[in-house]
Amino acid sequence: MERYRVVAVEPLVVKPPHWMADHRLARVVVYDYAADRCVDACVEPSTPAWSRLDINRSQPMLSREEEAAAQKAWASDATVQAQLGMGDEPQATMHYWGRTEADLAHTRRSAAVVFGRAGGHPSLVVVVDLLDAAVTQVVPAAQW
Amino acid sequence: MNHQSRIEAANWSFSWRLTESAGIMVYLADYRGRRVLWEGSLPYVTVDHQRSLLAVADDVLDAAADARGPWWVPLGARNLVDTVRVQQFRGGIELSATFAAGPYHYQQIWRFHDDGRLSPWLTIYGSGVHDQHTYHPHWRFDFDLDGADHDAVEHFEDGRWQRVAEEGWFPHSGEADEHGHVWRQVDFGSGAAINLRPHTWDDAELFAIRYHDGEWAPFSPRSQAGAQVYPAAYLGHEELDGHDVTLWYVAHVHFDQSFPYTAGPWIKVEGLG
């Protein structure tokens, strides 16, 4: 597990009268696994320094690498293997969180992988704890 | 593949680009040469599930199901089907893009009419994981009507337009003016206005939030564990009158077999003719 995941890099245009208005900026969002926090920064590519840095506890969307990691985590899980039907494969990886502390995903960065046949109806939902790359819930899609 | 450009058509002039997670973002939009929109996007569509099967004998399963929160996927390049389309229609021009992630399918539309109407819509289709689920599309609009300041927000209730004094959450109660408008942002200087009318079945609400640098469209609905999600996490008690304001239009659309369903506001620009 790498400590940092780059979630997104996008151009940013800041409104006047802010001093960064008219500057060519990039907004970089990184998730820091070790500190369980989000780093949201503005970078001016023509200078080596951050123009703005915000560190907070928000949970940004999943990076593409995290989506891929979630889809690998289920492969070695016997419970998942036992419940997959013929032809079931990952259909989508969702950014998921639990509503209350009764769900581990309330506080830990998690993904939900939806399984089903290609073009078919979902059959299974597998929740993956991304910090430990471990399956934490396996639920038939109809009972989700 | 071109994922951004500047367009001038149908009395509108605007730039657009495909974002990582907020669909097609439109920015620096002018109508008849006067600024209307600094930036507008669809930061996310969360999906909530309700119980489809009752597990009467299994308390543990009940507790786990009750604890389940929402989920979402970014609407961006990773889920884009084909490309962003730019099409002219009689009396306007339209941007559209289709996004697909497993059982979730969306078509985002930005329609610009030459009479000043603007339609940022989302058509929702796909089955979901089961029938008992609700979509919550969140649009974020940073309207700068004739400039960023000197604006006010009004809400139609108790039979008349009422000024919104401070930041807040303003659900559609069913009341609307004679044109169906429920909320509006007015520029003091010019008297121009942006009117918003919800789709009938959107169960819509509007968040009006004072603009602050740094409170840009978030890359997630989730501010932090146990806290309010965005945009509610941005709400305080700051005054709105005369300041730069950001509006979030949120629809709540329960899935049913009559889908696809198109959500989103009708927006009408007045006083810039």
Tell me phi and psi for residue B232, to 5 degrees: -60, -30
β-bridge pairing B117-125 and A110-116: unpaired
pLDDT (tens place) for every residue of chain B, 273 residues total:
578 899 999 999 999 999 999 999 999 999 999 999 999 999 999 999 986 555 555 555 566 667 788 999 999 999 999 999 999 999 999 999 999 999 999 999 999 999 999 999 999 998 999 999 999 999 999 999 887 778 899 999 999 999 999 999 999 999 999 999 999 999 988 889 999 999 989 999 999 999 988 888 888 888 887 788 889 888 899 999 999 999 999 999 999 988 999 999 999 999 986
What is the pLDDT at residue B76?
Answer: 95
How many other C-beta atoms are found inside a 10 Å radius of the C-beta of residue B261? 18
Give the sign of the dihedral formed by CA A31, CA A35, CA A40, CA A45.
Answer: negative
The C-alpha angle B235, B236, B239, rounded to 5 degrees, equals: 110
- What length is written for chain A? 144
What is the pLDDT at residue B188?
Answer: 84
What is the pLDDT at residue B216?
Answer: 84
pLDDT higher than threshold 60 for residue A19: yes
Tell me which residue has tokens 């639920």.
A139
Smallest Cβ–Cβ distance between A92 and the set B21, B102, B227 belongs to B102
pTM to 2 decimal places = 0.94
What is the pLDDT at residue B60?
Answer: 54
Smallest Cβ–Cβ distance between B69 and the set A52, A58, A97 belongs to A97
Subunit contact B219:A29, Cβ cutoff 8 A: yes
Return the residue in B129, B131, B141 with the most chain A beta carbons within 10 A, the one to mutate for interface testing: B129
Single out the residue of A2, A120, A16, A110 nearest to residue B103, CA to CA: A120
The residues in A 42-61 lying below 8 A from B, measured between CB atoms, are 52, 54, 56-61
What's the pLDDT tens digit per position in A55-77?
Answer: 999 899 999 999 999 988 988 89
What is the pLDDT at residue B48?
Answer: 93
On the 0-12 / 13-18 / 19+ scale of CB atoms within 10 A, B252 is middle
pLDDT higher than threshold 90 for residue A86: yes
Rounded-to-integer distance, Cα B251 and Cα B171, Å: 10
Shortest CA gap B91–chain A (Å) = 30
What's the pLDDT tens digit per position in A109-128?
Answer: 999 999 999 989 999 999 99
Cβ B243 vs Cβ B151: under 8 Å = yes
Helix (H) and strand (E) counts in chain A: 2, 8
What is the pLDDT at residue B59?
Answer: 56
What is the pLDDT at residue A50?
Answer: 74
Smallest Cβ–Cβ distance between B222 and the set A20, A59, A102 belongs to A59
Sequence-ordered strand ranges (E) for A19-109: 25-32, 37-43, 50-56, 89-98
Non-local (6+) Cβ contacts of B60 within 8 A are none
Token pair belonging to B153: 């927000």
What is the pLDDT at residue B205?
Answer: 97
A chain contacts of residue B64, beta-carbon cutoff 8 Å: 102-103, 137
Cβ A114 vs Cβ B103: under 8 Å = yes
Distance of CA B183 to CAs B64, B104, B156, B171, B231, Å?
Answer: 39, 30, 6, 10, 17
Cβ A70 vs Cβ A127: under 8 Å = no
Tell me which amino acid residue B20 is: E
What is the pLDDT at residue B117?
Answer: 97
Shortest CA gap A97–chain B (Å) = 5
